[in-house]
Structure 1
Amino acid sequence: MSARRAGAHGTVPTRGRRGRRIALWTTSTVVVLAVLAAGLVYYRLNGNLSTFGSDGVSKDRPDAASADAQGRVPVNLLLIGSDSRDGANKDLGGGQDDGARSDTAILLHVYADHRHAVGVSVPRDSLVDVPPCMLPNKTWTKPQTDVMFNSAFSVGNTAQGNPACTQNTVEKLTGLRIDHTMVINFQGFADMTKAVGGVDVCLPKAVYEGDLDPNLGRRGKQLFKAGHQSIAGQQALDYVRIRHGLGDGSDIGRTKRQQAFLSSLIKSVKAKGMNPVALLPLADATTKSLTVDEGLGSAQKLVDFAMSLKDVDLHDVKFLTVPWRYQGERVALVHPDADQLWAALKADRTLDGQDTTPASAAPSSSPSASPAATVDGAGIRVAVYNGTATAGLTGRAAEALEAAGFTVTGRANAASRTHTATLVEYGPGEKAEAQKVAALFPGATLEAGTRAGISLTLGADYAAGRGATAAPPVPTGPLPTSVSQARSADDDACSDLTYG
């Protein structure tokens, strides 16, 4: 018999067949190990994630978006950057007070075609109305009028913040239903930038320690050179937090740099490949510092959501700040520009006026469906008064008026807070203009006076939701330049980095 052993049936396996068997077993072992490894990673990620409960989300919410003819729906994701000093965040530059504030807030609208997306920054100092929000003891706050936007995240004064309250506030502000909310703190942000191997950024001039901390009292060492550079970890945090020494030193200028940073981050992620293998290390780096709503409360759901964005082209990812103006030391939102932006996103229209929804899926409309679409308030000045004890009415009514082109000259409480019906008062020769105001508030009473000027006094009918105005009309063309001039994710990192 040959020195080579015969097989079970007297055949002698060749070296090639034996090699293929070894290769097969090796490949099978690698596949099994890879599956087990992926399972362990998902298990670890699920353990890392924190979620916030849906019990704090308002029951009075905008309707969910409808699917198009192909069954696709747009998605609204609220991204919140927390400056909590909890845990390791204190060493990375977290807030110096107890609790947490929303240092950054971006509403990301992913269109139904999942090929376009718009990120809208809401300045933290914006004056907005905050609806009732749930406290840690499960009681609800009273609504607040004209308060800083970032105060919503601080309701309850906890180290984790109150993402549900911020979500409620954004839904009230925009009329858009938020599908998912994600909160990331300083530690998670730093880890995320390390996981992608750094992010390309740019600065118009060199930045020093004294620019990051004006209380330092000296220039300090250089933190950043001028021009392009790759940053990660603490450096990345410093970049997105710098205000002073650039432009007018405002939070608005910092918001521009945050948008540029996110654009570069998206480039880095897409360059590595939008697939689970590439995304898992990034998710692993961030989930320990991530709080999400229950709908995103697993690693699989997070990766699935990220994968749904793989076909979005960089040029079709836009970033902008909601139209704004300074109001003293705070920021006021500009109407009707802001209202037109929200209406366009609700209709899933792009900033250049394009409709991404197939014509067969577009909702039917008629001129009578939206009173705001048929009322032209251009050149008409109106003072708004709250004739009830319900807070927040003047802001809501003023937004509706400005969306229809009226100029709101003031907001205040009426001398009497017991009005049952909404009243429009007008001076000599102003009846036609007053009728236009009343058209936005069905059931309002008209009353002639002897003094010039038009005033709107809101009654209990308006507070109860009766006579509430319709949403602003859907824009049929490009939006105002305050909205349409947005940054694309493929823009040069050195462009549009400051304000003032």
Structure 2
Amino acid sequence: MTTSHRATARGRRRKRGRVRLTLGIVLSLLVLVTAGAGWVYFRLSGNIDTFAADGVSGDRPDADASKGENVLVIGSDARTAGNSALGGGDKSDIGRSDTAFLLHVYADHRHAVAVSIPRDTLVDLPPCKLPDGSWTKARPDTMFNAAYSVGETAKGNPACTQNTVEHLTGLRVDHTVVVDFKGFAELTDVVGGVEVCLPQDVYQRDLNPHRGTRGARLFAKGEQKVSGHKALDYVRIRHGIGDGSDIGRIKRQQAFVASLLKKLKSDGLTPTKLLPLADAATHSLTVDPGLGSADKLISFAMSLKDIDLGNTKFVTIPWRYEGSRVAVVQPDADALWASLKDDRTLDGADASGKNGGKGTREPTDAKSAAPVSGEGAAVSVRNGTTVSGLAARAAKTLTEHGFTVTGTATADAQDHATTVIAYGPGEKSRAKSLARLFPGAEVESASAPGITVTLGLSYARTPSATPSVEPEPVPSQVADDARSGDDNPCSDLSYG
């Protein structure tokens, strides 16, 4: 071999050596990155607790009823895992729901609305599973937050709260997330604090009305940034502002969540910020099995990134006082649930991600060109199905045709296949005219005065029961009371 050949061979060996070294470094980096990512997901997944799916009712709303997603968020005041230091109370006390809202993410993934449910709202609690495996009986006219305490365990019963919300709204809850005191405080620390506003100075007795003296000032009037324990104090204040009601506290909690979202949006979800945020968020979460891993939880969170703050709304379920408790106002509540099911925003806009509406309303009977006229006849409407919002839709149709709707309610049984129109003395002709609005309805006499319409599935399946091309918005008192995610933090915070 000549000298030049030997030099060429040595050069090739050096080149091959450099290539092998470069490949070795790249492979080593890939292994480290992969291992690091795996470690991160292992760590985050290890933070997340899940509740058993066997406590979720088998009698649930149809999963395909809406293309949007519904997420139930529960704020728990459980005293376990270090929470007693933040919330007070006995470590052995049972878990309770301090606040709850149903977040509806519209199908277009550009709009969202959070509906708060006051803790004192009187609802019907459906059967729920107990720790011993047995199921409770249904409990009518029970405070909403009692659902979380069914079974009287330290960690609470999120499955029972989910069952209750599904029964109340007729909407399927896709995911349930429980955040406790400790997780909430850590999250606000990680984001560097949240901007809030107080309409007045707030003192220790405002947080604890059993305190003998006013105590130290916790918050000064006006805008300020809070985090950790102080952020927790802010969202828990009830007695020192306005009329001291839970409704007023809900308004401030909605303002806080809006401000938190604004902070997250402005910071951006970069990897540097995402890891500590995800670590804090998952450390004290309890979720349904569908969100029980880091990749599922992060994937869901990232699916919300295109929702604009101006398109994020906060409302409270239509309500009125009933003594010291809160009652749900109908048909306003059913109209709200129906709008969410149809992916219509609070102002009636289509947020289904498709062009156009979802149906047309028939103003007259298909068998007759003459319009139906109620001429002031009084009618009560009952929903004999599990289809949410059906009574409200029927009531609207009847009102448009001149009938006076005296009230809407849920029928004693919700398994009616056919609509039944029962009429009292002297109401036969009006009942038959009314029946033209409900094709296939059965008309029968009754001893009670007036006309009662009990809706069946036959009505739910007719075009007249579906929203029109240009559907009406939810009741104005609900829409007008909504808070937007980009509202000023000082607006509308002192109800009562």
Distance 1:380 1:209, change over 3 A: farther
1:447 is aligned, of 432, 445, 448, to 445
Distance 1:33 1:130, change over 3 A: same
Q: Residue in 1 aligned with 2:258?
A: 263
Give me the CA root mean square deviation: 4.2
Q: Residue in 1 aligned with 2:490?
A: 494
Kindly state the Cα deviation for residue 121 of structure 1 after the two structures are TM-superposed: 0.6
2:180 corresponds to which letter in structure 1?
N
Answer yes or no: is the 8 Å Cα contact 1:383–1:408 preserved in 2.
Answer: yes
Kindly state the Cα deviation for residue 243 of structure 1 after the two structures are TM-superposed: 0.7
Of 244-253 and 96-105, the range deviating more from structure 2: 96-105
Answer yes or no: is the 8 Å Cα contact 1:337–1:482 preserved in 2.
Answer: no
1:36 corresponds to which letter in structure 2?
A
Instruction: Please give the per-residue CA displacement for 1:223-253, whole angstroms capped at 9, x wherever unaligned.
Output: 0111111111111111111111211110000
Normalised to the residue count of structure 2, the TM-score between the two structures is: 0.80
Matched position secondary structure for 2:251: helix
Matched position secondary structure for 1:240: helix
d(CA) in 1 for partners of 2:344, 2:446: 42
Q: Residue in 2 aligned with 1:352?
A: 347
How many positions carry a matched residue from both structures? 464
Distance 1:433 1:348, change over 3 A: same
Matched position secondary structure for 2:72: strand
d(CA) in 2 for partners of 1:204, 1:378: 51
Q: Residue in 2 aligned with 1:187?
A: 182
d(CA) in 1 for partners of 2:124, 2:27: 59
1:133 is aligned, of 111, 128, 134, to 128
Distance 1:294 1:94, change over 3 A: farther
**Identity, % of aligned positions:** 53
Distance 1:233 1:437, change over 3 A: farther
Matched position secondary structure for 1:215: coil
Distance 1:409 1:336, change over 3 A: closer
Asked whether 1:103 is paired with 2:98, we answer yes
1:157 is aligned, of 152, 156, 173, to 152
Matched position secondary structure for 1:246: coil
Normalised to the residue count of structure 1, the TM-score between the two structures is: 0.80
Distance 1:177 1:384, change over 3 A: closer
Asked whether 1:215 is paired with 2:210, we answer yes
Answer yes or no: is the 8 Å Cα contact 1:45–1:284 preserved in 2.
Answer: yes
Kindly state the Cα deviation for residue 37 of structure 1 after the two structures are TM-superposed: 3.3
2:334 is aligned, of 334, 339, 354, to 339
Alignment of 1:302-381 (within 5 A): 302-359=297-354, 363-364=358-359, 367=362
Alignment of 1:79-478 (within 5 A): 79-93=73-87, 98-359=93-354, 363-364=358-359, 367=362, 401=391, 404=395, 406-408=405-407, 424=422, 426-428=424-426, 432=430, 436=434, 446-449=444-447, 453-454=449-450, 473-474=466-467, 476-478=471-473
d(CA) in 2 for partners of 1:210, 1:157: 29
d(CA) in 1 for partners of 2:84, 2:259: 26
Answer yes or no: is the 8 Å Cα contact 1:382–1:409 preserved in 2.
Answer: no
d(CA) in 2 for partners of 1:74, 1:383: 32
Kindly state the Cα deviation for residue 483 of structure 1 after the two structures are TM-superposed: 2.0
Answer yes or no: is the 8 Å Cα contact 1:127–1:148 preserved in 2.
Answer: yes
Q: Residue in 2 aligned with 1:70?
A: none
Q: Residue in 1 aligned with 2:399?
A: none
Distance 1:220 1:132, change over 3 A: same
d(CA) in 2 for partners of 1:327, 1:380: 29
Asked whether 1:43 is paired with 2:36, we answer no
Kindly state the Cα deviation for residue 39 of structure 1 after the two structures are TM-superposed: 2.3
Matched position secondary structure for 1:266: helix
2:318 corresponds to which letter in structure 1?
P
Instruction: Please give the per-residue CA displacement for 1:16-35, whole angstroms capped at 9, x wherever unaligned.
Output: xx9xx999999987775454
Task: List gaps (5 residues or longer) in structure 2.
Answer: 1-6, 366-370, 397-404, 413-418
d(CA) in 2 for partners of 1:60, 1:215: 43
Q: Residue in 1 aligned with 2:54?
A: 55
1:65 corresponds to which letter in structure 2?
D
